[in-house]
């Protein structure tokens, strides 16, 4: 899952074939590098690596190049290496899931000249420029809407092979989400979702997109709008995106949702939408749950570690914010496969609403950072020194690192202050839609993976009961859903509920909503033909307080399938170190 980047030398003024079909570049063969394997990294609470330490730099890089296929067995663990940008001249055709569930090649590579070396320089953040204010889309003035429409129209009207052209910008997301690049010195594909790279990479993607638009219209004050679907007044489709004659319009949306508020609990195969008031309340409570139980542990909010050479499989985990982000994509994209445009990674950035959505995700990250006192989420150089490459507003290929984007002031933008409800005291989420059940016995999950073809209920033992207040500040209870196998490329979702156990039986209803696992349509088949396996973690400390289960030895976990073909390997609860 390397770091992603826009990679194009200055525009030469020549014209290539249409970028609208993502077919402007010649098809290139996939370069093959020796496969490098390591054992799973195991760290103690203070960050030290247990067992024999082997620096992955030595695993990946020999004195004269790569070692052969290297295996670290026994009790050995590999020290991390920060992700680096890939070989920019080795872009190859990407894959996307086609209508029938297979994989087809698609060209997402930028139009740079492979015969010439690419000069990459560290990006110099501009100084002495106005601070840009990003505003809620539903609060923009007509002049601000018109300015934005004009900027996008001008971007779309650039020559099709210009790196600032709208479709060329959209290719960036495709290339780094659909395996058009391999990580340096590794056969692992670049992927900027499903890990702690998700938020910083997309922050830079938006930053350069915004700077380029400002340059196109010669306005240093230009700031991208955000779709404020986390507040009551902002949950509807912003009206400026609904005009068919506007540069902001996209025909590949689920137009049946235009008159409805955003539904963060939506599933494609369930159109039994409740009244708008219920959706709005559920959305707010979903956000409250995320900020209440994920905030103490950055991994839960932001995603799991991803280090150079890691294969995006097995222990891979998206944070709760990314799952919410996926739900928004899910709700906007077309219902029919291949779920264009927002409903599929390869095409998502072809919809201008993508940027309003992701600016809001960046805003929610900013909100989270303020909740935790603007502390560094991961004091880990593999995160802080991860490098990305983009084409900047001066038509230069530049490199940036995660640590450079953590102070938002350095990036020169602020967010309009919009009051939110979900940072107040948590309230239980009312589950929907369900049918109450009579009391019935429930057992443990068992050692065998189970298809999520129907609701799964299981008794799960807690690691500790009645923790003291000081314990809660240092440790939080986390529910693990392990070995989630994604068996096809279709969109997938399941919801998780927690309830008390009464004399060996589970009584009525689903319990209290803990969160969701959500994936939009994507190729989840690895190069060896296996299906991607992931895990998901849910903070449940506050939830257990709400349901009065603090002293209980066991709880009942319920997994409710909403969409897709999944199997689950198991469920368990652990205590995890908090950021406090």
Query: Tens digits of per-residue pLDDT, 379-432?
Result: 999 999 999 999 999 989 999 999 999 999 899 999 999 999 999 865 554 444
C-alpha dihedral (52, 61, 181, 73), degrees to nearest 10: -30
Cα–Cα–Cα angle for 446, 449, 452, nearest 5°?
105
Residue 198 gets the label, from left (phi > 0), alpha (psi -120 to 50) or beta, of: alpha
**415 vs 86, 206, 214, 223, 365, CA distance in Å?**
32, 14, 17, 9, 12
pLDDT at residue 312, as a whole number: 61
Which of 161-170, 355-364, 432-441 is least confident? 432-441
456, 559 contact by CB (below 8 A): yes
Nearest residue to 460 via CA among 475, 481, 474, 476: 481
Radius of gyration (C-alpha) of the chain in whole angstroms: 23
Of the residues 162, 193, 357, 524, only one is catalytic, namely 193
Q: Exposed, middle or buried by CB within 10 Å (0-12, 13-18, 19+), for 15?
A: exposed
pLDDT at residue 32, as a whole number: 29
**What pLDDT, in 10s, does the model give residues 88-104?**
888 888 876 554 345 56
Cα–Cα–Cα angle for 164, 168, 174, nearest 5°?
135
125, 392 contact by CB (below 8 A): no
Instruction: Give the whole-angstrom CA distance, residue 509 versus residue 356.
Output: 37
Q: What are phi and psi of 186, to 5 degrees?
A: -155, 155
- What would the DSSP string read from start to end of 17-82? S-TTTT--S---PPP-------PPP-B-TTSPBPSSEEEHHHHH-BTTB--SS----TT-EEEP--
pLDDT at residue 89, as a whole number: 83
pLDDT at residue 313, as a whole number: 63
Of the residues 325, 357, 522, 524, only one is catalytic, namely 325
In the residue annotation, 193 being an active-site residue is answered as yes
Nearest residue to 302 via CA among 426, 386, 225, 216: 386
Indicate if the pLDDT at residue 500 is higher than 80: yes
Q: What is the DSSP letter of 182?
A: B
**What pLDDT, in 10s, does the model give residues 183-207?**
988 888 889 999 999 999 999 999 9
For 501, the token pair is: 């156990």
pLDDT band at 291 (very low <50, low <70, confident <90, very high): very high
Measure the N-to-C terminal CA separation of the chain; round to a whole number of Å: 29
In the residue annotation, 325 being an active-site residue is answered as yes
Instruction: Give the whole-angstrom CA distance, residue 190 versus residue 87.
Output: 11
The total of other beta-carbon atoms located within 10 Å of residue 48's CB is 8
Using the structure block, give the residue that is written with the tokens 């390397």: 2
Cα–Cα–Cα angle for 132, 156, 334, nearest 5°?
95
Of the residues 92, 138, 162, 329, only one is catalytic, namely 329
Mean pLDDT along residues 465-485: 83
Of the residues 202, 357, 522, 524, only one is catalytic, namely 202
**What pLDDT, in 10s, does the model give residues 28-82?**
333 323 233 322 233 333 333 223 333 333 322 222 222 222 222 222 234 578 9
538, 478 contact by CB (below 8 A): yes
Is 315 or 372 the better-scoring residue by pLDDT?
Answer: 372
pLDDT at residue 270, as a whole number: 55
pLDDT band at 504 (very low <50, low <70, confident <90, very high): low
Using the structure block, give the residue that is written with the tokens 């935790």: 372
Q: What is the DSSP letter of 453?
A: S
In the residue annotation, 257 being an active-site residue is answered as no
Evaluate the CA torsion angle 54, 60, 66, 70 in order and state its sign: positive
Q: What is the DSSP letter of 532?
A: P
Of the residues 92, 138, 162, 173, only one is catalytic, namely 173
In the residue annotation, 345 being an active-site residue is answered as yes
For 326, the token pair is: 């996926």
Instruction: Give the whole-angstrom CA distance, residue 496 versus residue 173.
Output: 30
Instruction: Give the whole-angstrom CA distance, residue 296 versus residue 274.
Output: 32
Q: Extract the runs of DSSP E, i.e. beta strands, from 432-541.
A: 440-441, 450-451, 456-461, 475-486, 492-500, 505-506, 512-519, 533-539
Of the residues 92, 162, 358, 524, only one is catalytic, namely 358
In the residue annotation, 173 being an active-site residue is answered as yes
pLDDT at residue 93, as a whole number: 85
Indicate if the pLDDT at residue 15 is higher than 50: no
Largest CA distance in the chain: 75
CA atoms within 13 A on the CB side of 576: 23
pLDDT at residue 521, as a whole number: 86
Indicate if the pLDDT at residue 276 is higher than 50: yes
Is 89 or 314 the better-scoring residue by pLDDT?
Answer: 89
Is 145 or 112 the better-scoring residue by pLDDT?
Answer: 145
Indicate if the pLDDT at residue 133 is higher than 50: yes
Is 448 or 272 the better-scoring residue by pLDDT?
Answer: 448
Q: Extract the runs of DSSP E, i.e. beta strands, from 80-131.
A: 94-97, 103-106, 120-122
pLDDT band at 264 (very low <50, low <70, confident <90, very high): very high
pLDDT at residue 26, as a whole number: 31
Instruction: Give the whole-angstrom CA distance, residue 207 versus residue 223.
Output: 9
Indicate if the pLDDT at residue 211 is higher than 70: yes
Mean pLDDT along residues 144-163: 96
pLDDT at residue 343, as a whole number: 93
């Amino acid at each position: 899952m390397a770091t992603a980047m826009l990679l194009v030398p200055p525009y030469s003024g020549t014209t290539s074939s249409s970028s609208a079909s993502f077919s402007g570049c010649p098809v290139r063969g996939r370069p093959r590098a020796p496969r490098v394997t390591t054992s799973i990294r195991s760290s103690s609470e203070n960050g030290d690596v247990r067992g024999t330490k082997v620096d992955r730099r030595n695993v990946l890089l020999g004195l004269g190049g790569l070692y052969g296929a290297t295996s670290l067995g026994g009790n050995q663990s590999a020290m991390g290496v920060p992700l680096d940008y890939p070989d920019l001249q080795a872009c190859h055709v990407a894959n996307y899931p086609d209508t029938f569930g297979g994989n087809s090649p698609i060209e997402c590579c930028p139009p740079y000249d492979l015969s010439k070396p690419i000069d990459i320089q560290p990006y110099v953040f501009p100084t002495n420029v106005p601070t840009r204010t990003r505003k809620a889309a539903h609060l923009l003035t007509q002049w601000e809407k018109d300015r934005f429409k004009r900027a996008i129209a001008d971007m779309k009207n650039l020559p099709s092979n210009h790196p600032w052209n709208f479709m060329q910008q959209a290719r960036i997301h495709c290339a780094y989400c659909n395996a058009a690049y391999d990580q340096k010195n590794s056969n692992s594909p670049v992927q900027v979702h499903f890990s702690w790279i998700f938020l910083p990479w997309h922050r830079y993607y938006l930053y350069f997109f915004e700077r380029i638009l400002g340059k196109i219209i010669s306005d240093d004050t230009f700031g991208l709008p955000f779709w404020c679907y986390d507040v009551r007044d902002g949950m509807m489709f912003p009206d400026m995106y609904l005009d068919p004659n506007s540069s902001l319009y996209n025909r590949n949306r689920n137009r049946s949702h235009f008159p409805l508020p955003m539904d963060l609990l939506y599933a494609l195969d369930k159109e039994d939408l409740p009244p708008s008031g219920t959706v709005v309340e559920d959305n707010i409570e979903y956000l409250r749950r995320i900020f209440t139980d994920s905030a103490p542990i950055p991994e839960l909010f932001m995603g799991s570690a991803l280090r150079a050479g890691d294969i995006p499989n097995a222990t891979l985990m998206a944070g709760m914010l990314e799952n919410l982000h996926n739900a928004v994509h899910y709700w906007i994209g077309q219902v029919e496969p291949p779920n264009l445009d927002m409903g599929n990674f390869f095409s998502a950035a072809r919809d201008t609403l993508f940027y309003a959505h992701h600016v809001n995700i960046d805003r929610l990250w900013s909100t989270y950072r303020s909740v935790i006192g603007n502390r560094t989420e991961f004091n880990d150089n593999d995160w802080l020194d991860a490098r990305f490459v983009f084409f900047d507003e001066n038509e230069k290929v530049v490199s940036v690192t995660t640590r450079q984007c953590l102070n938002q002031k350095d990036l020169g933008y602020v967010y309009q202050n919009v009051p939110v409800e979900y940072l107040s005291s948590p309230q239980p989420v009312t589950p929907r839609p369900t049918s109450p059940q009579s009391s019935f016995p429930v057992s443990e999950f068992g050692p065998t993976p189970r298809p999520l073809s129907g609701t799964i209920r299981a008794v799960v033992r807690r690691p500790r009961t009645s923790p003291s207040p000081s314990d809660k500040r240092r440790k939080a209870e986390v529910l693990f859903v392990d070995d989630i196998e994604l068996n096809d490329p279709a969109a997938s979702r399941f919801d998780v509920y927690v309830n008390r156990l009464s004399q060996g039986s589970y009584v009525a209803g689903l319990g209290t909503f803990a969160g969701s696992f959500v994936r939009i349509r994507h190729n989840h088949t690895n190069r060896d033909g296996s299906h991607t396996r992931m895990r998901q973690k849910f903070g449940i400390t506050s939830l257990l307080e709400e349901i009065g289960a603090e002293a209980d030895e066991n709880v009942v976990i319920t997994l409710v399938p909403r969409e897709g073909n999944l199997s689950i390997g198991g469920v368990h609860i652990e205590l995890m170190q908090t950021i406090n």
